[in-house]
């Protein structure tokens, strides 16, 4: 799975990669996730009800993987203030678009989005959580937790002023802004 994800990430990162390769890798990733979910359901059913909690956790992990794979398709898409479509995103519009594809209805702006979900600490942050930035009690930026890199720590994917990119969690999206909150939406 890791090699597949890496090849998928490479195809997103290098613009000279063909669109056909990108679509093929995306389909392979989706098929792999579906296959993994089917096997886990069969295993849990064979083990009885005691495995139901494990099944829920596995579903959450599969959904996190799917959301991150989907979000990664838009690396490099330009920043557009008020943008909520692949032709251009602003930060909260990007989170709204990604999560909507998985049945989550987030409010439109960061200040309202932060009201949704369960607060988690940086140590608890997982792929698919939402990170909010700003100053004081003003929320001005939303990012999606991308992963926990062994050397770089928690990374996020978000619509920055330079387009959709993956950065460190403590990246300052605007001068003087800092990480204020992380919320878990996927449960």
Domain match, 161 and 117 both:
yes
- Say what the pLDDT of residue 171 is: 85
Domain match, 57 and 103 both:
no
- Say what the pLDDT of residue 25 is: 47
Number of domains in the chain: 2
Domain match, 119 and 148 both:
yes
Domain match, 95 and 33 both:
no
| Mean pLDDT over each residue of the chain, to the nearest integer | 82
Provide mean pLDDT across the span 167-182.
Answer: 88
Q: How many helices (H) and strands (E) does the chain have?
A: 5, 8
Domain match, 53 and 88 both:
no
Domain match, 57 and 100 both:
no
Q: Which of these three, 43, 72, 101, is where a domain ends?
A: 72
User: Does any domain span residue 41?
Assistant: yes
pLDDT interval class at 54 (50, 70, 90) = confident
Share of the chain above pLDDT 70, in %: 73
Domain match, 178 and 106 both:
yes
User: Does any domain span residue 101?
Assistant: yes
Whether pLDDT at 151 is above 80: yes
The answer to whether 90 and 164 have CB atoms below 8 angstroms apart is no
| Rounded Cα–Cα distance for residues 125 and 62 (Å) | 16
- Say what the pLDDT of residue 68 is: 98
**From 42-51, 97-106, 112-121, the region with the lowest mean pLDDT:** 42-51
CATH number at residue 154: 3.90.1720.10
The residue among 177 and 67 whose pLDDT is bigger is 67
The answer to whether 110 and 140 have CB atoms below 8 angstroms apart is yes
Domain match, 90 and 180 both:
yes
- This prediction has a pTM of 0.73
User: Does any domain span residue 115?
Assistant: yes
For residues 146-180, one letter each, b for 16 or more C-beta atoms within 10 angstroms of the residue's C-beta and e for the rest, the string is bbeeeeeebbbbbbbeeebbbbebebebeeebebb
User: Does any domain span residue 79?
Assistant: no
Domain match, 26 and 109 both:
no
- Say what the pLDDT of residue 20 is: 46
The residue among 87 and 27 whose pLDDT is bigger is 87
User: Does any domain span residue 78?
Assistant: no
Phi and psi, residue 69, nearest 5°: -60, -45
- Say what the pLDDT of residue 182 is: 98
How big is the chain by its Cα radius of gyration, in Å?
A: 17
pLDDT interval class at 48 (50, 70, 90) = low
Domain match, 67 and 110 both:
no
Q: Which of these three, 18, 48, 72, is where a domain ends?
A: 72
**Which residues constitute the domain of residue 164?**
84-184
List, in order, residues 6 or more apart from 9 with CB less than 8 Å away.
72
Provide mean pLDDT across the span 14-28.
Answer: 45
Q: Which of these three, 72, 93, 120, is where a domain ends?
A: 72
Provide mean pLDDT across the span 151-175.
Answer: 92
The residue among 31 and 18 whose pLDDT is bigger is 31
């Amino acid at each position: 799975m890791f090699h597949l994800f890496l090849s998928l990430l490479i195809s997103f990162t290098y613009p000279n990669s063909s669109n056909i390769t990108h679509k093929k890798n995306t389909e392979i990733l989706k098929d792999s996730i579906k296959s993994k979910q089917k096997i886990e359901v069969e295993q849990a059913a064979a083990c009885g009800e005691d495995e139901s909690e494990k099944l829920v956790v596995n579903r959450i992990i599969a959904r996190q993987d799917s959301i991150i794979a989907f979000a990664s398709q838009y690396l490099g898409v330009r920043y557009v203030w008020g943008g909520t479509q692949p032709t251009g995103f602003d930060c909260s519009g990007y989170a709204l678009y990604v999560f909507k594809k998985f049945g989550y209805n987030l409010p439109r702006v960061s200040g309202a989005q932060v009201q949704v979900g369960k607060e988690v600490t940086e140590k608890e942050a997982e792929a698919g959580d939402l990170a909010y930035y700003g100053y004081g009690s003003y929320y001005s930026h939303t990012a999606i937790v991308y992963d926990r890199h062994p050397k770089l720590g928690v990374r996020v994917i978000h619509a920055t002023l330079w387009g959709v990119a993956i950065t460190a969690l403590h990246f300052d999206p605007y001068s003087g802004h800092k990480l204020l909150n992380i919320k878990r939406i996927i449960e």
